[in-house]
Structure 1
Amino acid sequence: MSSVLITGASQGIGRAIAVELAGRGHRVIATARRPETLADLPVDQRLRLDVTDQESVDRAVRDAGEIDVLVSNAGETVRAPLESVPLAEVERLFQVNTLGALRVAQAVLPAMRERGAGRLVFVSSIQGRMVLPMIGPYGASKWALEALAETLAIETGHFGVKVSVVQPGAVSSGGGERARVHLGENDPYTPLYEALPALRGELVTPEDVATTVAATIEHPEPPLRVPAGAPAERALRARKAAPEDEPFLLAEIDW
Protein backbone atom coordinates (compact mmCIF):
# COMPACT_ATOMS: atom_id res chain seq x y z
CA MET A 1 0.00 0.00 0.00
CA SER A 2 1.10 3.56 -0.65
CA SER A 3 1.87 6.49 1.62
CA VAL A 4 -0.44 9.26 0.40
CA LEU A 5 -0.40 12.96 1.34
CA ILE A 6 -3.67 14.77 0.66
CA THR A 7 -4.03 18.55 0.65
CA GLY A 8 -7.34 20.17 1.55
CA ALA A 9 -8.63 17.15 3.47
CA SER A 10 -10.85 18.99 5.95
CA GLN A 11 -14.06 18.77 3.94
CA GLY A 12 -15.70 17.80 0.68
CA ILE A 13 -13.68 15.88 -1.87
CA GLY A 14 -10.45 15.86 0.15
CA ARG A 15 -12.15 14.37 3.21
CA ALA A 16 -13.85 11.71 1.08
CA ILE A 17 -10.52 10.81 -0.54
CA ALA A 18 -8.90 10.41 2.89
CA VAL A 19 -11.66 8.07 4.07
CA GLU A 20 -11.63 6.04 0.85
CA LEU A 21 -7.86 5.56 0.80
CA ALA A 22 -7.67 4.73 4.51
CA GLY A 23 -10.39 2.13 3.99
CA ARG A 24 -8.30 0.55 1.26
CA GLY A 25 -5.33 0.21 3.59
CA HIS A 26 -3.16 3.07 2.38
CA ARG A 27 -1.11 5.12 4.83
CA VAL A 28 -2.89 8.46 4.66
CA ILE A 29 -1.42 11.81 5.69
CA ALA A 30 -4.36 14.23 5.78
CA THR A 31 -3.52 17.92 5.74
CA ALA A 32 -5.44 21.17 6.09
CA ARG A 33 -4.87 24.76 7.11
CA ARG A 34 -6.63 23.95 10.39
CA PRO A 35 -5.56 20.44 11.42
CA GLU A 36 -8.18 20.31 14.19
CA THR A 37 -10.76 19.82 11.42
CA LEU A 38 -9.12 16.46 10.67
CA ALA A 39 -9.48 15.03 14.17
CA ASP A 40 -12.23 12.53 13.31
CA LEU A 41 -10.60 11.18 10.15
CA PRO A 42 -9.36 7.54 10.36
CA VAL A 43 -5.90 8.38 9.02
CA ASP A 44 -2.29 7.85 10.07
CA GLN A 45 -1.24 11.50 10.32
CA ARG A 46 -2.97 14.86 10.52
CA LEU A 47 -0.80 17.83 9.65
CA ARG A 48 -1.16 21.55 9.13
CA LEU A 49 -0.49 22.54 5.54
CA ASP A 50 -1.33 25.82 3.85
CA VAL A 51 -0.53 25.47 0.15
CA THR A 52 0.08 29.23 -0.13
CA ASP A 53 2.77 29.21 2.59
CA GLN A 54 6.17 27.76 1.64
CA GLU A 55 7.28 27.24 5.24
CA SER A 56 4.04 25.40 6.03
CA VAL A 57 4.46 23.16 2.98
CA ASP A 58 8.10 22.36 3.75
CA ARG A 59 7.30 21.51 7.37
CA ALA A 60 4.39 19.23 6.48
CA VAL A 61 6.34 17.36 3.82
CA ARG A 62 9.23 16.89 6.23
CA ASP A 63 6.97 15.66 9.03
CA ALA A 64 5.07 13.29 6.74
CA GLY A 65 8.10 11.12 6.04
CA GLU A 66 8.25 9.15 2.81
CA ILE A 67 5.47 10.14 0.40
CA ASP A 68 4.63 7.80 -2.46
CA VAL A 69 1.62 9.76 -3.71
CA LEU A 70 0.59 13.40 -3.57
CA VAL A 71 -3.12 14.06 -3.98
CA SER A 72 -3.24 17.79 -4.68
CA ASN A 73 -6.83 18.66 -3.82
CA ALA A 74 -6.83 22.00 -1.98
CA GLY A 75 -8.88 24.52 -3.91
CA GLU A 76 -11.34 27.38 -3.75
CA THR A 77 -13.82 29.00 -6.10
CA VAL A 78 -15.73 32.25 -6.58
CA ARG A 79 -18.88 33.43 -8.31
CA ALA A 80 -18.57 36.68 -10.28
CA PRO A 81 -18.66 38.00 -13.84
CA LEU A 82 -15.26 38.71 -15.35
CA GLU A 83 -16.32 42.28 -16.06
CA SER A 84 -16.35 43.14 -12.38
CA VAL A 85 -14.63 40.36 -10.39
CA PRO A 86 -12.04 41.89 -8.04
CA LEU A 87 -8.62 41.04 -9.40
CA ALA A 88 -7.52 40.24 -5.85
CA GLU A 89 -10.03 37.36 -5.94
CA VAL A 90 -8.54 36.06 -9.18
CA GLU A 91 -5.06 36.26 -7.68
CA ARG A 92 -6.28 34.40 -4.58
CA LEU A 93 -7.67 31.53 -6.66
CA PHE A 94 -4.45 31.19 -8.62
CA GLN A 95 -2.42 31.23 -5.40
CA VAL A 96 -4.46 28.33 -4.00
CA ASN A 97 -5.57 26.31 -7.01
CA THR A 98 -2.55 26.67 -9.27
CA LEU A 99 0.59 27.95 -7.58
CA GLY A 100 -0.34 26.14 -4.36
CA ALA A 101 -0.55 22.86 -6.22
CA LEU A 102 2.81 23.48 -7.87
CA ARG A 103 4.37 24.50 -4.55
CA VAL A 104 3.50 21.17 -2.93
CA ALA A 105 4.53 19.22 -6.04
CA GLN A 106 7.92 20.94 -5.95
CA ALA A 107 8.31 19.92 -2.31
CA VAL A 108 7.66 16.19 -2.88
CA LEU A 109 9.28 15.73 -6.30
CA PRO A 110 12.98 15.63 -5.35
CA ALA A 111 12.53 12.55 -3.15
CA MET A 112 10.30 10.85 -5.74
CA ARG A 113 12.84 11.54 -8.47
CA GLU A 114 15.69 10.15 -6.38
CA ARG A 115 13.68 6.99 -5.60
CA GLY A 116 12.69 6.61 -9.24
CA ALA A 117 9.00 6.33 -8.35
CA GLY A 118 6.07 8.46 -7.28
CA ARG A 119 2.59 9.65 -8.17
CA LEU A 120 1.18 13.15 -8.53
CA VAL A 121 -2.62 13.27 -8.68
CA PHE A 122 -4.14 16.70 -9.24
CA VAL A 123 -7.84 17.20 -8.56
CA SER A 124 -8.87 19.49 -11.38
CA SER A 125 -12.31 19.89 -12.95
CA ILE A 126 -14.04 19.62 -16.29
CA GLN A 127 -13.52 23.39 -16.12
CA GLY A 128 -9.88 22.68 -16.80
CA ARG A 129 -11.00 21.92 -20.37
CA MET A 130 -14.05 24.18 -20.77
CA VAL A 131 -15.58 27.27 -19.18
CA LEU A 132 -18.73 28.17 -17.30
CA PRO A 133 -20.11 31.70 -16.98
CA MET A 134 -19.76 33.33 -13.56
CA ILE A 135 -17.02 30.83 -12.62
CA GLY A 136 -14.39 32.10 -15.06
CA PRO A 137 -11.59 32.77 -12.55
CA TYR A 138 -11.89 29.23 -11.18
CA GLY A 139 -11.86 27.78 -14.68
CA ALA A 140 -8.81 29.81 -15.62
CA SER A 141 -6.94 28.53 -12.55
CA LYS A 142 -7.79 24.94 -13.52
CA TRP A 143 -6.76 25.41 -17.15
CA ALA A 144 -3.42 26.64 -15.83
CA LEU A 145 -3.21 23.72 -13.39
CA GLU A 146 -3.72 21.24 -16.22
CA ALA A 147 -0.97 22.90 -18.25
CA LEU A 148 1.39 22.52 -15.28
CA ALA A 149 0.35 18.90 -14.73
CA GLU A 150 0.86 17.93 -18.37
CA THR A 151 4.27 19.60 -18.36
CA LEU A 152 5.21 17.73 -15.19
CA ALA A 153 4.14 14.46 -16.81
CA ILE A 154 6.61 15.11 -19.63
CA GLU A 155 9.43 16.42 -17.45
CA THR A 156 9.27 13.81 -14.67
CA GLY A 157 8.00 10.71 -16.48
CA HIS A 158 11.47 9.41 -17.30
CA PHE A 159 12.29 9.64 -13.56
CA GLY A 160 9.50 7.17 -12.80
CA VAL A 161 6.93 9.75 -11.63
CA LYS A 162 3.40 9.27 -12.95
CA VAL A 163 1.10 12.29 -13.20
CA SER A 164 -2.70 12.25 -13.44
CA VAL A 165 -5.39 14.90 -13.49
CA VAL A 166 -8.79 13.89 -12.11
CA GLN A 167 -11.64 15.90 -13.65
CA PRO A 168 -14.98 15.98 -11.82
CA GLY A 169 -17.96 17.95 -13.04
CA ALA A 170 -20.31 19.54 -10.54
CA VAL A 171 -19.88 17.94 -7.10
CA SER A 172 -22.26 18.02 -4.14
CA SER A 173 -19.41 19.02 -1.82
CA GLY A 174 -20.81 22.39 -0.77
CA GLY A 175 -17.94 24.26 -2.41
CA GLY A 176 -20.24 26.24 -4.66
CA GLU A 177 -22.44 27.20 -1.74
CA ARG A 178 -19.39 28.40 0.23
CA ALA A 179 -18.04 30.43 -2.67
CA ARG A 180 -17.75 34.17 -2.36
CA VAL A 181 -20.25 35.95 -4.61
CA HIS A 182 -19.43 39.34 -6.11
CA LEU A 183 -22.58 40.91 -7.52
CA GLY A 184 -23.64 44.51 -7.08
CA GLU A 185 -27.14 45.78 -6.40
CA ASN A 186 -29.29 45.42 -9.53
CA ASP A 187 -26.32 43.73 -11.19
CA PRO A 188 -27.02 42.99 -14.86
CA TYR A 189 -25.37 39.57 -14.45
CA THR A 190 -27.74 38.44 -11.68
CA PRO A 191 -30.02 36.45 -14.06
CA LEU A 192 -26.98 34.53 -15.33
CA TYR A 193 -25.88 33.81 -11.77
CA GLU A 194 -29.36 32.54 -10.91
CA ALA A 195 -29.26 30.22 -13.91
CA LEU A 196 -25.92 28.73 -12.87
CA PRO A 197 -27.27 25.59 -11.13
CA ALA A 198 -28.91 24.49 -14.39
CA LEU A 199 -25.78 25.33 -16.39
CA ARG A 200 -23.50 23.23 -14.16
CA GLY A 201 -25.19 19.95 -15.06
CA GLU A 202 -25.67 16.73 -13.12
CA LEU A 203 -24.08 16.42 -9.67
CA VAL A 204 -21.86 13.63 -8.40
CA THR A 205 -20.88 13.06 -4.77
CA PRO A 206 -17.47 13.61 -3.16
CA GLU A 207 -17.39 9.85 -2.63
CA ASP A 208 -17.73 9.31 -6.38
CA VAL A 209 -14.69 11.49 -6.96
CA ALA A 210 -12.79 9.74 -4.16
CA THR A 211 -13.39 6.36 -5.79
CA THR A 212 -11.96 7.69 -9.06
CA VAL A 213 -8.91 9.11 -7.28
CA ALA A 214 -8.29 5.80 -5.48
CA ALA A 215 -8.62 3.82 -8.70
CA THR A 216 -6.17 6.20 -10.39
CA ILE A 217 -3.62 5.76 -7.60
CA GLU A 218 -3.93 1.97 -7.74
CA HIS A 219 -3.78 1.77 -11.55
CA PRO A 220 -0.35 0.52 -12.69
CA GLU A 221 -0.33 2.85 -15.71
CA PRO A 222 -2.86 5.62 -15.04
CA PRO A 223 -3.88 7.95 -17.87
CA LEU A 224 -2.96 11.62 -17.73
CA ARG A 225 -6.58 12.80 -17.62
CA VAL A 226 -9.28 10.89 -15.75
CA PRO A 227 -12.92 12.07 -15.84
CA ALA A 228 -14.64 11.49 -12.49
CA GLY A 229 -18.07 10.06 -13.18
CA ALA A 230 -20.40 9.69 -16.14
CA PRO A 231 -21.47 13.38 -16.20
CA ALA A 232 -17.83 14.46 -16.54
CA GLU A 233 -17.25 11.90 -19.27
CA ARG A 234 -20.24 13.18 -21.23
CA ALA A 235 -19.25 16.83 -20.78
CA LEU A 236 -15.66 16.30 -21.85
CA ARG A 237 -16.71 14.16 -24.80
CA ALA A 238 -19.10 16.88 -25.94
CA ARG A 239 -16.41 19.54 -25.51
CA LYS A 240 -13.99 17.51 -27.63
CA ALA A 241 -16.58 17.06 -30.38
CA ALA A 242 -17.68 20.71 -30.43
CA PRO A 243 -16.19 23.24 -32.87
CA GLU A 244 -13.19 25.10 -31.50
CA ASP A 245 -14.05 28.34 -33.30
CA GLU A 246 -17.04 29.23 -31.10
CA PRO A 247 -17.85 29.22 -27.38
CA PHE A 248 -19.04 25.95 -25.88
CA LEU A 249 -21.87 25.98 -23.34
CA LEU A 250 -22.27 23.04 -20.99
CA ALA A 251 -26.04 23.53 -20.93
CA GLU A 252 -26.18 22.30 -24.53
CA ILE A 253 -25.45 18.75 -23.36
CA ASP A 254 -28.36 16.31 -23.14
CA TRP A 255 -27.82 14.97 -19.63
Structure 2
Amino acid sequence: MASILITGASKGVGRATARELAKRGHRVVATARDPRTLEDLDVDQRLRLDVSDQASVEAAVEQAGEIDTLLSNAAVIFRAAVEASPTDELERLYAQNTVGAIRVTQALLPQMRRRRQGRLLFVSSVGGRTVIPGNAAYAATKWALEGFAETLAVEVADFGIDVTLAQPGPISSGALDDMLTYRLPDDPYAELLSGGIPPEVMVTPEYVATALADLVELPSVPLRVPVGPLAEEVIAARDRAPYDRPFVR
Protein backbone atom coordinates (compact mmCIF):
# COMPACT_ATOMS: atom_id res chain seq x y z
CA MET A 1 0.00 0.00 0.00
CA ALA A 2 1.33 3.41 -0.99
CA SER A 3 0.51 6.89 0.28
CA ILE A 4 -0.49 9.09 -2.66
CA LEU A 5 -1.17 12.81 -2.67
CA ILE A 6 -3.38 13.91 -5.56
CA THR A 7 -3.77 17.54 -6.63
CA GLY A 8 -6.92 18.64 -8.42
CA ALA A 9 -9.07 15.83 -7.03
CA SER A 10 -12.35 17.74 -7.03
CA LYS A 11 -13.48 16.50 -10.45
CA GLY A 12 -12.53 14.70 -13.64
CA VAL A 13 -9.37 12.62 -13.74
CA GLY A 14 -8.24 13.60 -10.23
CA ARG A 15 -11.50 12.46 -8.64
CA ALA A 16 -11.66 9.25 -10.68
CA THR A 17 -8.05 8.40 -9.79
CA ALA A 18 -8.63 9.04 -6.09
CA ARG A 19 -11.50 6.57 -6.20
CA GLU A 20 -9.53 3.99 -8.18
CA LEU A 21 -6.51 4.12 -5.87
CA ALA A 22 -8.66 3.97 -2.73
CA LYS A 23 -10.48 0.97 -4.20
CA ARG A 24 -7.10 -0.73 -4.65
CA GLY A 25 -6.35 -0.23 -0.95
CA HIS A 26 -3.93 2.69 -1.09
CA ARG A 27 -3.80 5.57 1.37
CA VAL A 28 -5.11 8.48 -0.68
CA VAL A 29 -4.73 12.13 0.25
CA ALA A 30 -7.14 13.99 -2.03
CA THR A 31 -6.67 17.74 -2.33
CA ALA A 32 -8.51 20.63 -3.93
CA ARG A 33 -8.82 24.38 -3.56
CA ASP A 34 -12.21 23.81 -1.94
CA PRO A 35 -12.09 20.67 0.22
CA ARG A 36 -15.89 20.64 0.43
CA THR A 37 -15.86 19.24 -3.12
CA LEU A 38 -14.10 16.15 -1.75
CA GLU A 39 -16.59 15.26 0.99
CA ASP A 40 -18.12 12.33 -0.90
CA LEU A 41 -14.74 10.73 -1.66
CA ASP A 42 -13.96 7.67 0.46
CA VAL A 43 -10.28 8.47 1.01
CA ASP A 44 -7.91 8.76 3.95
CA GLN A 45 -7.60 12.56 3.95
CA ARG A 46 -9.30 15.48 2.21
CA LEU A 47 -7.20 18.62 2.31
CA ARG A 48 -7.26 22.15 0.99
CA LEU A 49 -4.43 22.69 -1.46
CA ASP A 50 -4.16 25.54 -3.95
CA VAL A 51 -1.09 24.84 -6.08
CA SER A 52 -0.68 28.55 -6.80
CA ASP A 53 -0.43 29.41 -3.07
CA GLN A 54 2.83 28.54 -1.31
CA ALA A 55 1.35 28.65 2.20
CA SER A 56 -1.51 26.38 1.14
CA VAL A 57 0.92 23.86 -0.36
CA GLU A 58 3.16 23.82 2.72
CA ALA A 59 0.19 23.38 5.07
CA ALA A 60 -1.25 20.50 3.03
CA VAL A 61 2.09 18.69 2.78
CA GLU A 62 2.59 18.99 6.53
CA GLN A 63 -0.89 17.60 7.23
CA ALA A 64 -0.46 14.78 4.73
CA GLY A 65 2.58 13.30 6.43
CA GLU A 66 4.71 10.77 4.58
CA ILE A 67 3.87 10.55 0.88
CA ASP A 68 5.23 7.88 -1.44
CA THR A 69 3.80 9.24 -4.69
CA LEU A 70 2.77 12.67 -5.87
CA LEU A 71 0.09 12.56 -8.53
CA SER A 72 0.24 16.08 -9.92
CA ASN A 73 -3.02 16.60 -11.79
CA ALA A 74 -4.34 20.14 -11.13
CA ALA A 75 -4.64 22.13 -14.35
CA VAL A 76 -6.73 24.73 -16.15
CA ILE A 77 -7.26 25.48 -19.84
CA PHE A 78 -8.53 28.08 -22.27
CA ARG A 79 -8.78 28.26 -26.05
CA ALA A 80 -7.47 31.13 -28.18
CA ALA A 81 -5.17 31.95 -31.04
CA VAL A 82 -1.80 33.20 -29.80
CA GLU A 83 -2.64 36.76 -30.90
CA ALA A 84 -5.89 36.65 -28.94
CA SER A 85 -4.48 35.13 -25.74
CA PRO A 86 -4.67 37.61 -22.83
CA THR A 87 -1.29 37.78 -21.13
CA ASP A 88 -2.80 37.70 -17.65
CA GLU A 89 -4.56 34.46 -18.60
CA LEU A 90 -1.29 33.05 -19.91
CA GLU A 91 0.27 33.82 -16.55
CA ARG A 92 -2.64 32.15 -14.76
CA LEU A 93 -2.19 28.95 -16.76
CA TYR A 94 1.56 28.84 -16.14
CA ALA A 95 1.01 29.54 -12.43
CA GLN A 96 -1.34 26.58 -12.12
CA ASN A 97 -0.25 24.03 -14.70
CA THR A 98 3.52 24.44 -14.55
CA VAL A 99 4.74 26.44 -11.56
CA GLY A 100 2.02 24.93 -9.36
CA ALA A 101 3.16 21.41 -10.19
CA ILE A 102 6.76 22.31 -9.41
CA ARG A 103 5.77 24.04 -6.16
CA VAL A 104 4.12 20.88 -4.80
CA THR A 105 7.06 18.80 -6.02
CA GLN A 106 9.53 21.04 -4.18
CA ALA A 107 7.50 20.70 -0.98
CA LEU A 108 7.54 16.88 -1.13
CA LEU A 109 11.07 16.25 -2.38
CA PRO A 110 12.89 16.70 0.96
CA GLN A 111 11.03 13.82 2.63
CA MET A 112 11.45 11.62 -0.45
CA ARG A 113 15.20 12.32 -0.52
CA ARG A 114 15.52 11.48 3.17
CA ARG A 115 13.81 8.14 2.62
CA ARG A 116 15.61 7.68 -0.71
CA GLN A 117 12.35 6.61 -2.25
CA GLY A 118 9.46 8.27 -4.04
CA ARG A 119 7.58 8.70 -7.28
CA LEU A 120 6.58 11.92 -9.04
CA LEU A 121 3.75 11.29 -11.46
CA PHE A 122 2.79 14.28 -13.58
CA VAL A 123 -0.40 14.37 -15.64
CA SER A 124 0.79 15.98 -18.83
CA SER A 125 -1.11 15.70 -22.10
CA VAL A 126 -0.81 14.74 -25.73
CA GLY A 127 -0.61 18.55 -25.94
CA GLY A 128 2.69 18.31 -24.09
CA ARG A 129 4.24 16.87 -27.26
CA THR A 130 2.01 18.20 -30.05
CA VAL A 131 0.14 21.38 -30.96
CA ILE A 132 -3.17 22.33 -32.56
CA PRO A 133 -4.48 25.82 -33.38
CA GLY A 134 -6.12 27.50 -30.42
CA ASN A 135 -4.35 25.33 -27.87
CA ALA A 136 -1.03 27.17 -27.63
CA ALA A 137 -1.35 28.37 -24.02
CA TYR A 138 -2.31 25.00 -22.54
CA ALA A 139 0.18 23.12 -24.72
CA ALA A 140 2.98 25.51 -23.76
CA THR A 141 2.38 24.92 -20.05
CA LYS A 142 2.58 21.17 -20.62
CA TRP A 143 5.66 21.39 -22.85
CA ALA A 144 7.29 23.41 -20.06
CA LEU A 145 6.19 20.86 -17.46
CA GLU A 146 7.75 18.11 -19.55
CA GLY A 147 11.04 20.01 -19.63
CA PHE A 148 11.02 20.40 -15.85
CA ALA A 149 10.09 16.75 -15.34
CA GLU A 150 12.74 15.38 -17.69
CA THR A 151 15.43 17.44 -15.96
CA LEU A 152 14.07 16.44 -12.57
CA ALA A 153 14.27 12.77 -13.51
CA VAL A 154 18.02 13.12 -14.00
CA GLU A 155 18.51 15.16 -10.82
CA VAL A 156 16.67 12.82 -8.43
CA ALA A 157 17.56 9.42 -9.86
CA ASP A 158 20.40 8.89 -7.39
CA PHE A 159 17.98 9.49 -4.49
CA GLY A 160 15.76 6.56 -5.44
CA ILE A 161 13.04 8.85 -6.82
CA ASP A 162 11.54 8.23 -10.23
CA VAL A 163 9.60 10.58 -12.48
CA THR A 164 6.98 9.82 -15.10
CA LEU A 165 4.73 11.87 -17.37
CA ALA A 166 1.32 10.50 -18.30
CA GLN A 167 0.12 11.92 -21.63
CA PRO A 168 -3.61 11.36 -22.17
CA GLY A 169 -5.46 12.54 -25.23
CA PRO A 170 -8.76 14.44 -24.98
CA ILE A 171 -10.83 13.33 -22.00
CA SER A 172 -14.63 13.26 -21.76
CA SER A 173 -14.61 14.92 -18.33
CA GLY A 174 -16.69 17.94 -19.38
CA ALA A 175 -13.74 20.35 -19.29
CA LEU A 176 -13.73 20.54 -23.10
CA ASP A 177 -17.50 20.96 -23.49
CA ASP A 178 -17.79 24.67 -22.74
CA MET A 179 -14.20 25.82 -22.73
CA LEU A 180 -13.26 29.41 -21.90
CA THR A 181 -12.45 30.96 -25.30
CA TYR A 182 -10.96 34.27 -26.39
CA ARG A 183 -11.41 35.68 -29.89
CA LEU A 184 -10.43 38.83 -31.76
CA PRO A 185 -13.04 41.17 -33.28
CA ASP A 186 -13.92 39.91 -36.78
CA ASP A 187 -11.72 36.98 -35.86
CA PRO A 188 -9.20 36.26 -38.63
CA TYR A 189 -8.51 32.87 -37.01
CA ALA A 190 -12.15 31.74 -36.87
CA GLU A 191 -11.79 29.04 -39.51
CA LEU A 192 -8.69 27.59 -37.88
CA LEU A 193 -10.45 27.42 -34.53
CA SER A 194 -13.74 26.06 -35.83
CA GLY A 195 -14.94 22.62 -34.94
CA GLY A 196 -14.65 20.56 -31.80
CA ILE A 197 -13.22 17.24 -30.71
CA PRO A 198 -15.24 14.22 -31.87
CA PRO A 199 -16.57 12.33 -28.84
CA GLU A 200 -15.47 9.01 -30.28
CA VAL A 201 -11.77 9.89 -29.94
CA MET A 202 -12.05 10.85 -26.27
CA VAL A 203 -11.17 8.62 -23.35
CA THR A 204 -13.11 8.64 -20.09
CA PRO A 205 -11.72 9.91 -16.77
CA GLU A 206 -12.01 6.33 -15.49
CA TYR A 207 -9.84 5.06 -18.36
CA VAL A 208 -7.13 7.57 -17.47
CA ALA A 209 -7.55 6.83 -13.76
CA THR A 210 -6.84 3.14 -14.35
CA ALA A 211 -3.69 4.01 -16.31
CA LEU A 212 -2.51 6.38 -13.58
CA ALA A 213 -3.20 3.87 -10.81
CA ASP A 214 -1.19 1.28 -12.76
CA LEU A 215 1.72 3.77 -12.96
CA VAL A 216 1.55 4.23 -9.19
CA GLU A 217 1.86 0.49 -8.69
CA LEU A 218 4.50 -0.44 -11.28
CA PRO A 219 7.92 -1.35 -9.82
CA SER A 220 9.56 1.03 -12.30
CA VAL A 221 8.18 3.50 -14.81
CA PRO A 222 9.27 5.03 -18.13
CA LEU A 223 9.67 8.77 -18.38
CA ARG A 224 6.73 9.21 -20.76
CA VAL A 225 3.55 7.16 -21.14
CA PRO A 226 0.91 8.03 -23.78
CA VAL A 227 -2.55 7.20 -22.43
CA GLY A 228 -5.16 6.02 -24.91
CA PRO A 229 -5.11 5.02 -28.58
CA LEU A 230 -5.28 8.60 -29.93
CA ALA A 231 -2.43 9.79 -27.73
CA GLU A 232 -0.29 6.84 -28.81
CA GLU A 233 -1.02 7.46 -32.49
CA VAL A 234 -0.53 11.23 -32.43
CA ILE A 235 2.67 11.18 -30.38
CA ALA A 236 4.13 8.45 -32.60
CA ALA A 237 3.32 10.60 -35.64
CA ARG A 238 4.93 13.61 -33.96
CA ASP A 239 8.08 11.62 -33.29
CA ARG A 240 8.26 10.69 -37.00
CA ALA A 241 7.59 14.22 -38.27
CA PRO A 242 10.41 16.49 -39.46
CA TYR A 243 11.18 19.30 -37.04
CA ASP A 244 11.86 21.95 -39.69
CA ARG A 245 8.19 22.71 -40.31
CA PRO A 246 5.02 22.86 -38.17
CA PHE A 247 3.51 19.46 -37.53
CA VAL A 248 -0.06 20.65 -38.12
CA ARG A 249 0.38 22.19 -41.58
- Normalised by the length of structure 2, the TM-score is 0.97
Is the 8 Å Cα contact of residues 76 and 179 (structure 1) preserved in structure 2?
no
Task: Please list, as runs of the form range in 1=range in 2, the aligned pairs for 1:125-204 lying within 5 A after superposition.
Answer: 125-197=125-197, 202-204=201-203
1:248 maps to what in 2? 247
Instruction: Sort the Cα spacing of 1:131 and 1:21 in 2 relative to 1 into closer, same or farther, 3 A.
Output: same
- 1:227 paired to 2:207: no
Q: Secondary structure at the match of 2:197?
A: helix
- Report percent identity of matched pairs: 55
Q: Secondary structure at the match of 2:177?
A: helix
1:43 maps to what in 2? 43
* Gapped regions of structure 2 (runs ≥ 5): none
Name the CA distance, whole Å, in 2 between partners of 1:176 and 1:192.
Answer: 17
Q: Secondary structure at the match of 2:170?
A: coil
- 1:4 paired to 2:4: yes
Name the CA distance, whole Å, in 1 between partners of 2:74 and 2:238.
Answer: 26
Deviation at residue 178 of structure 1 after TM alignment: 4.6
- 1:112 paired to 2:118: no
RMSD: 1.4
Name the CA distance, whole Å, in 2 between partners of 1:116 and 1:232.
Answer: 33
2:236 maps to what in 1? 237
Amino acid at match of 2:197: P
Amino acid at match of 1:237: A
Q: Secondary structure at the match of 1:187?
A: coil
- 1:84 paired to 2:69: no
Deviation at residue 140 of structure 1 after TM alignment: 0.3
Deviation at residue 11 of structure 1 after TM alignment: 0.4
Name the CA distance, whole Å, in 2 between partners of 1:167 and 1:208.
Answer: 13
Amino acid at match of 2:103: R
- Normalised by the length of structure 1, the TM-score is 0.94
Deviation at residue 179 of structure 1 after TM alignment: 2.9
Q: Secondary structure at the match of 1:103?
A: helix
Deviation at residue 54 of structure 1 after TM alignment: 0.2
Name the CA distance, whole Å, in 2 between partners of 1:206 and 1:152.
Answer: 27
Name the CA distance, whole Å, in 2 between partners of 1:211 and 1:32.
Answer: 20
Name the CA distance, whole Å, in 2 between partners of 1:82 and 1:143.
Answer: 16
- 1:34 paired to 2:51: no
2:75 maps to what in 1? 75
Greater CA drift, 5-14 or 226-235:
226-235
Is the 8 Å Cα contact of residues 84 and 184 (structure 2) preserved in structure 1?
no
Is the 8 Å Cα contact of residues 170 and 201 (structure 1) preserved in structure 2?
no
Q: Secondary structure at the match of 2:191?
A: helix
Name the CA distance, whole Å, in 1 between partners of 2:17 and 2:244.
Answer: 37
Is the 8 Å Cα contact of residues 130 and 139 (structure 1) preserved in structure 2?
yes
Deviation at residue 201 of structure 1 after TM alignment: 8.0
Q: Secondary structure at the match of 1:133?
A: coil
- 1:206 paired to 2:205: yes
Name the CA distance, whole Å, in 2 between partners of 1:93 and 1:176.
Answer: 16
1:59-78 per-residue CA deviation (whole Å, 9 max, x = no partner) reads 00000111010000000011
